[in-house]
Chains A and B, each alone.
Chain A
Amino acid sequence: MSLVYSMKQFLLVLVALLVMPAAFANAGGEKDEEYDVTGEIMHHISDAHEWHLWGDDDFTTSVYLPIILIDNGLVTFSSSAFYHGTPVEFTNAEGKKEFYYKEPTGKYALLHEKIYKLENGELHFHEGHPENAMPMDFSITKNVLSLFFGAIIIVLLMFTTARFYKKNGAVAPKGLAKFMEPMILMVRNIAVDNIGEHKYKKYLPFLTTVFFFVWINNMLGMIPIIPGGANLTGNISVTLVLAVFTMLFTVLSGNKNYWSHIFATPGVPMALLPIMIPIELVGILTKPFALMIRLFANMTAGHIIVLALVSIIFINKNEFWGFLSVPMALFISVLEVLVAFLQAYLFAMLSALFIGAAVEESHH
C-alpha cells in the first residue's frame, strides 16, 4: 500500500517535511563557538595545497598535494609537512586568533594557502599581512590537479571522436562520436555565424577547445567529491589566461580594416579622433576583461550560493535544517548546470564575435 495517492497528498507530505525543522529548533547546539560562515565559504571556493576529503579537526582526511618551489633551486615536499607541521598562533588585524603552519625544517611557512620564506624562523607581520619574501610557487594545488583531470577528459573525448571518423570516414556516427557531433557542430555554427564562411576554419580549434574546456571544468566544479569540486573556472587567474588567448587571437589576426576602424573610425570627424582613438584602444582590452570577469563571477557566485544554503545547517547546529536547505541547494544547483553550459557557450560566442570583427572585410 503506497503512502501517496495523489499529487495533492504528495505536496502536503513534502511541505510538512520542509517545515519540520521548526519543531526541532531547540535540539542540539553543544559547541559554543559560532560557525564562521564567510571564512568557511571562502575556504571552499579558494585554491588549496591539500584536497580535503572529509572529517574535522582530529579526523581530517585529505589528499596532500606536492609543493614545488623555486628558491635558489628546486625544492619539493609533500604539503603534509605543513598541515602536520607546527601551528604557530598569532593575532590578526581584527584581533582574532589565527595560526600559520611551519614545516619541520623551519624554512617555509603557510598562511592562507600562501607560502612564505621564514627568516629567524617566524613570519613578520605588517598591518596584518606577512611581509616575508615568497619563493616562486609552482605547486600542484587543488586547482592544478582539477585542471589536469579536466584536460585528460577533454583529450579522451576528442581523440575517441576523431578516431571514429578516421576509421569510418564521413558517415553518420555511432557511440561517443554520436554524442559529441551535435556539440561540435554547434561550435562550428557559432564560428561560421560570427567569423564568416571563408575564414572560420583557422579559428575553429581554439573555439572548440575554449568551449569544452570551460564547460567541462564548470561541470566538474559542481560535483561535490574528488576529483570534482575544485572551483577552477572561478579562479580569476584561469579566466584571465583564457581571456588573454582571446585577445591575442583578436589582435594578431587584425587586418587593415580592423585597425582602420580603431585609428580612423569611419564617420567620425577629424576633431573627435583624439577622443575616439584612446577609447577604441582601451576597448581592445575591456572586451576580453569583461569575458574574464563574467566567467569568474558567475561560477564563484553560484558556488557561494550553494555553500551558503548548506551552511544554514551548520549555523543552526541542527541537522534537521537539512530538509529545508538541501532541496533549496538542489534547485540552485540545477540552475548552475544551465549556467555552466551558458557561460561556456557565451565565452565561445563572444570570442568568435571579437575574432570575426578583427578579420572582417570592409563592405562599401
Chain B
Amino acid sequence: MYGSIAAIGAGLAVLGAGIGIGRIGGSAMDAIARQPEAHGKIQTTMIIAAALIEGVALFGVVVGMLGGAK
C-alpha cells in the first residue's frame, strides 16, 4: 500500500515540473518570436531555468523512491 502512495507523490512532483517547464518553454517561444536575434541567450536561459526546475522535481521523485523502498 505504501509503495503506491509514494508513487502518487512522485507523480505529483513531476506534474508540477511539467507545468513549470511548459510555461518556461512557452515564454521562451514568445520572447524569440518578438526578438529573433536574441534567440541564443533566450535558449540558454531557458535550458538553465528548466534544469533548475527539474532538479526540484527530482527531489520529489527521490523522496518518493525512499518512501517506496523498504
User: Which residue of B is nearest A128, CB measured?
Assistant: B70
Distance between Cα atoms of A342 and B44 in the complex (Å)? 11
In this assembly, does B8 line the interface, its C-beta being within 8 Å of a C-beta of chain A?
A: no
Query: Quick check: which of A67-75, A169-177, A290-298 contacts chain B, the rest being far away?
Result: A290-298
**Assembly CA distance A301 to B54 (angstroms):** 12
**A114-148 to B contact mask, C-beta < 8 Å, 1/0:** 00000000000000100000000000000000000
Check B47–A297 contact: CB distance below 8 A: no
Residues of B within 8 A of A243 (CB): none
Within the complex, which residue of B48, B52, B59, B70 is in contact with A297, where a contact is CB–CB below 8 Å? Answer: B59
Per the 8 Å Cβ criterion, residues 308-346 of A in contact with B are: 342-343, 346
Whole-angstrom CA separation of A94 from B54 in the bound complex: 34
Bound-state Cα–Cα, A149 to B52, Å: 30
| Given A93-B70, A128-B70: A346 and B62 interface contact (C-beta under 8 Å) | no
Among B55, B56, B61, B70, residue most surrounded by chain A Cβ atoms (within 10 Å): B55
A295: nearest residue on chain B (CB-CB)? B55
Q: Are B62 and A293 in contact (CB under 8 A)?
A: yes
Q: How many A-B residue pairs have CB under 8 A?
A: 32
Alpha-carbon distance between A200 and B16 when the two chains are bound, in angstroms: 36
Q: Chain A interface mostly helix, strand, loop or mixed? A: helix
**Residues 24-70 (chain B) with a chain A CB within 8 angstroms:** 47-48, 51-52, 54-56, 58-59, 61-62, 70
Q: What is the CA–CA distance of A101 and B8 in the complex, to the nearest angstrom?
A: 36
Q: Are A301 and B70 in contact (CB under 8 A)?
A: no
B70 in contact with A298 (CB, 8 Å): no
Query: A191 on the interface (CB 8 Å rule)?
Result: no
Across-interface contacts of A128 in B (CB, < 8 A): 70
Q: Which of A128, A294, A296, A298 has the most CB of B within 10 A?
A: A294
| Interface of chain A residues 77 through 110 with chain B (CB within 8 A) | 93-94
What are the 6 closest A-B residue pairs judged by CB atoms, nearest first?
A: A297-B58, A294-B55, A346-B51, A297-B62, A290-B55, A293-B59
A-B contact pairs, 20 of them (CB 8 A): A93-B70, A94-B70, A128-B70, A290-B55, A293-B55, A293-B62, A294-B51, A294-B54, A294-B58, A297-B55, A297-B58, A297-B59, A297-B61, A298-B55, A298-B58, A301-B58, A301-B61, A342-B47, A346-B52, A349-B48
